[in-house]
Amino acid sequence: MARTAFFISDGTGITAETLGRSLLAQFENSNIQMITKPYIDSREKAQNLAAVIEATAVRDGERPIIIDTIVDQTIREIITRAPGFKVDIFTTFLAPLEEELNTHSSYSVGRTHAIGQDDVYMQRIDSVQFALDNDDGARVHQYDKADIILVGVSRCGKTPTSLYLALQFGIRAANYPFTEDDLDEDGILKMPKALVPYRHKLFGLTIDPRRLAAIRTERRPNSRYCSIDQCLQEIHQAESLFKRFHIPYIDTTRFSIEEISTRMIAETGLQRRIRPR
* Binding region: 152-159
Q: Which residue positions form the known binding site for ADP?
A: 152-159
Residue 2 burial by CB count (10 A; 0-12/13-18/19+): exposed, middle or buried? exposed
